[in-house]
Chain A
Amino acid sequence: MTPWHSRASAAARLSALSVVLWLLSGLAMPAPALQLTAEEERRILRHGPWPPASRPDPSNRVSGTPAAIAFGRTLFFDPRLSVSGTISCATCHQPDRAWADGRTRSRGHRTVERNAPSLFNLRFNRWFGWDGAHDTLWAQNLRPLLDWREMGIGPAGAARLVRSDRQLSCGYRRAFGAAPGEDDDLILVDLAKALAALLETLVTGRTPFDDFRDALARNDAAGQARYPAAAVRGLRLFIGRGNCAVCHFGPAFTNGEFADAGVPHFIEAGRVDPGRHGGIRRLRSSPYTLLGRFNDDPQRSTAAGTRHVRLRESAFGEFRVPGLRNVALTAPYMHAGSLRTLADVVHHYSTIDEERLHAGGERILRRLDLSERERSDLVSFLETLTEQPRRPVVRKPAHVQCR
């Protein structure tokens, strides 16, 4: 008998005991028996432990350093990093909105094509952005700084600002160990790297799901019983018939890749978001990748994925598989915010238009026609992926004289 069978049996025994005690005591019935199969337990355990181990990003020489994190925090809230002086990173990534903005498509100087994703758990990503056009967190941070619709300050503007502002110049010197030099591109990339150092710290806290998962791992039936019955039912759907865990895999609930989820991807009449297909093309033409001069890792130890990424026809219309931790806090959903609530997302997958998915290859997504209760159970499970207690919100730093 495997340890998993032992755990399942223990859970069943405890369940029977619970019923007897309930009958004797006349108290309210506790959570119903889990009765998870060994395979279900194995699948659930793969979604932890949380948080996973992490290490500094070797492509970013200031990854994990307190001075860079502090400088990144200053930069994050500074609207002078936009060409108009009015838009900061926090405009679209608001700390008290789970680092998103609640809009369908985010708006800097103009409304863009996509939804502003939350900034939680980015440090575990392999690709960045809805289309994966960037292979590092710092390269992703460059995009709004270069796109005039978002912030658009560009290399020359950013370098001028950092060189001329005493506080930013001081922050730069502390983070990077030298005053800003003559290379505008390098200064811009360094700002993006300081921002990345800050964003790496935004890791979600533990959740009711983690408590349940860990109780399962240590064979703690009482700990398991504290998890809501509806969430257990939803979890079983998630790892079972729903096939959700095929893509929303592992501790972060994402396989880190891209998928066609049957979501229309017109931007407007006659204009289409190509998704991952466009992202791969942008990645391969960008100077700001792990293969370029801005990678601080002389060994290029994390560059294999970038070197070998291939353009696939099937990538047209694929978008990032987002992680699901804190997902209940980050509505609206999908790449262009087309689904307003978690219930809408579950309904989308339950009634998915299979004809929008190409018939070639393995069919992961199928129309499930879930019952109302099943849909509600799935939402209940997803809501248990919210950190408890909520971590303190990162605030704009108080003005401190940098010397």
Chain B
Amino acid sequence: MALLPPVARAAGAQMPIFDAHIHFSHDAAKRLSAGEAAAILRGAGLKRALVSSSGDAGTRALHAAAPDLVLPSLRPYRRRGEISSWVDDGSVVDFLEDRLARFRWVAVGEFHLFAGQTDKPVPRRTIELARQHNLLLHAHSDAGAIDGIFAQWPDARVLWAHAGFVGPDTVGPMLGKHAKLWTDLAFRSEHAQDGRVDDDWRGLFSAFPDRVMVGTDTFTPERWHHVAWHADWTREWLDDLPADLAERIAWRNGEAMIRPHLAQLR
């Protein structure tokens, strides 16, 4: 943490955001050029974005357009519609191996994986590939699948998408159990309302100040036009937290989480 300069919360200063949950899938790429998409992210004050896409071309194009901003993550979906089927589709492995051989990545995901699926051959091989390439795993999962991932690879580093869509009473114990588990709050709003942070979530943030980050989740093309609003809304509720904690959630935690994987981009 000491390596990163603190950001003053002076009047007018805009808190930078590490957005841990951006997709630039093929249907979004039809409506926005990579340059326009990058401009949206920069306009929202994002300093980094963990980007994955259904149809990997979007991620590659966006990374090429904004290499300082975009952290490319390899999604095991060649098109929208493979969220449920990928775990049983052996050709996904060929796709991943091909992309991993040809391009550089910081993560694998966001993928959808639930309890009872982690031991299937395709997810198992996906986790194995992440281990071989020292990649973060971005998992849209329930707690059971998160446990399953760590059972396969105890040293995995996992970003738990949407904090599992569960409450602090479940997220807290999971973060306590797995030291290399982080969470993003994408597509969540229970944690804050009208600029005030919910007490239970505040307790979670305080208990695990290094493990939570934010995200928009641009899962439809329309949501690209929600990125700036979401960043402002995020800043609003972060302002209800102590400055140091707010900065960590806004961007420092993301930077710290991704740092060991940045070497993969060189």
Residues of A within 8 A of B (CB): 264-266, 269-272, 274, 277, 310-314, 316-317, 353-356, 358-361
List residues of chain B with CB within 8 A of the CB of A356: 219-220
Distance between A186 CB and nearest chain B CB, rounded to angstroms: 29
Contacts of B140 in A (CB 8 A): 359
Q: Are B189 and A310 in contact (CB under 8 A)?
A: yes
Q: Is B225 an interface residue (CB 8 A)?
A: yes
Tell me, in angstroms, the Cα distance from A354 to B188 when the chains sit together: 20
A269 touches B31 (CB 8 A): yes
Report B49-86 residues with CB < 8 Å from chain A CB: 54, 80-81, 83
The interface size of chain B toward A, counting residues with CB under 8 Å, comes to 23
Interface contact A312-B226, CB-CB below 8 Å: no
Q: Using Cβ atoms and an 8 Å threshold, which residues of chain B touch A355?
A: 54, 80-81, 83, 219
Report the Cα distance A12→B226, complex, angstroms.
Answer: 55
6 cross-chain CB contacts under 8 A: A269-B31, A310-B189, A311-B194, A314-B189, A317-B220, A355-B219
Q: In the bound complex, what is the Cα–Cα distance between A265 and B226 (angstroms)? A: 12
**What A residues does B165 contact at CB under 8 A?**
360-361
| B97: A residues at CB distance < 8 A | none
In the assembled complex, which residues on chain A have CB atoms less than 8 Å from the CB atom of B187?
Answer: 313-314, 358, 360
In the bound assembly, the distance between CA atoms of A159 and B223 in angstroms comes to: 41
- A359 to chain B minimum Cβ distance, whole angstroms, is 6
B222 engages A272 (CB within 8 Å): yes
B225 in contact with A271 (CB, 8 Å):
yes
Q: Which residues of B contact A314 (CB under 8 A)?
A: 187, 189
Residues in chain A near residue B230, CB distance under 8 A? 313
From known contacts A311-B189, A313-B189, infer whether A272 and B81 are also in contact, taking CB-CB under 8 Å: no
Q: Is the CB of A274 within 8 A of B189?
A: no
Check if B112 is an interface residue, CB within 8 A of chain A. Answer: yes
Contact with A along B206-224 (1 / 0, CB 8 A): 0000000000010111110
The answer to whether the Cβ of B48 comes within 8 Å of any Cβ in the partner chain is no
What residues of B have a CB within 8 angstroms of the CB of A353 in the complex? 80-81
Given contacts A269-B31, A355-B81, contact A360 B162 (CB under 8 A): yes
**What is the CA–CA distance of A312 and B165 in the complex, to the nearest angstrom?**
13
In the bound complex, what is the Cα–Cα distance between A385 and B63 (angstroms)? 53
Contact residues in B for A269 (Cβ distance below 8 Å): 31
The interface residues of chain A lying within 8 Å CB-to-CB of B264 are none
The contact string, 1 if C-beta is below 8 Å from chain A, for chain B 137-177, is: 00010000000000000000000001001000000000000
Least Cβ–Cβ distance between A173 and chain B, in angstroms: 42
A317 proximity list for chain B (CB < 8 A): 220, 222-223
B91 within 8 A of A: no
Q: How far is the CB of A369 from chain B (nearest CB, A)?
A: 14
Say whether A313 contacts B188, CB under 8 Å: yes
Minimum C-beta distance from A317 to chain B (A): 6
Which residues of B line the A interface, CB within 8 A?
A: 31, 54, 80-81, 83, 112, 140, 162, 165, 187-189, 193-194, 217, 219-223, 225-226, 230
The answer on a CB contact under 8 Å between B221 and A359 is no
Q: Are A274 and B112 in contact (CB under 8 A)?
A: no
- From B112, B187, B193, B221, name the one whose CB has the most chain A CB atoms within 10 angstroms: B187
Q: Is the CB of B112 within 8 A of A359?
A: yes
Contact of A316 among B83, B162, B193, B226 (CB under 8 A): B226
A270/B225 in contact, CB under 8 A: yes
Q: Contact between A358 and B219 (Cβ–Cβ < 8 Å)?
A: yes
Q: In the assembled complex, how far is the CB of residue A205 from the closest CB belonging to chain B, in whole angstroms?
A: 39
What is the CA–CA distance of A355 and B217 in the complex, to the nearest angstrom?
A: 13
**Complex Cα spacing A265 to B83, Å:** 22
Q: Which of B81, B189, B194, B221 contacts A266 (CB 8 A)?
A: B221
Q: How many Å from the CB of B227 to the closest CB on chain A?
A: 11
For A274, the chain B residues whose CB sits under 8 A away are 226
Given A314-B187, A359-B112: 17 more A-B contacts, CB < 8 Å: A266-B221, A266-B222, A270-B225, A274-B226, A311-B189, A311-B193, A312-B189, A313-B187, A313-B188, A316-B223, A317-B223, A354-B81, A355-B54, A355-B80, A355-B83, A356-B220, A359-B83
Residues of A within 8 A of B220 (CB): 317, 356
Residues of A near B223 (CB, < 8 A) are: 316-317
- Complex Cα–Cα for A310 and B194 (A): 9
Give complex CA distance A353, B220 in Å: 11
Give Cα A355–Cα B77 distance, bound, in whole angstroms.
12
Complex CA–CA separation, A220 to B30 (angstroms): 57
User: Given the interface contacts A271-B225, A272-B226, A274-B226, does A310 sit within 8 Å of B193 by beta carbon?
Assistant: yes
B160 to chain A, nearest CB (A): 13
Our pick among A264, A310, A361 for the contact of B222 (Cβ within 8 Å) is: A264
Q: How far, in Å, is A84 (CB) from chain B's closest CB?
A: 32
B244 smallest CB distance to A (angstroms): 26
B111 → chain A, closest Cβ, in Å?
A: 11
Minimum CB–CB distance for A175 against chain B, Å:
38
B80 partner residues in chain A, CB cutoff 8 A: 353, 355
Contact residues in A for B193 (Cβ distance below 8 Å): 310-311
Kindly report which residue of chain B lies nearest to residue A355, judged by CB atoms: B80
**B125 CB → nearest A CB, Å:** 22
Indicate the member of B193, B194, B226 with the most A CB atoms within 10 Å.
B226
For the complex of A and B, the 4 pairs showing the least CB-CB separation, nearest first, are A355-B80, A272-B225, A313-B189, A272-B222
Q: Closest B-chain residue to A270, C-beta based?
A: B225
- In angstroms, Cα B187 to Cα A316, docked, is 10
| Of B80, B140, B225, most A-chain CB atoms within 10 Å | B225
| Closest partner residue, chain A, to B230 (CB atom) | A313
Nearest chain B residue, comparing its CB with the CB of A262 = B220
- Complex CA–CA separation, A317 to B187 (angstroms): 13
A367 nearest CB neighbor, chain B only = B81
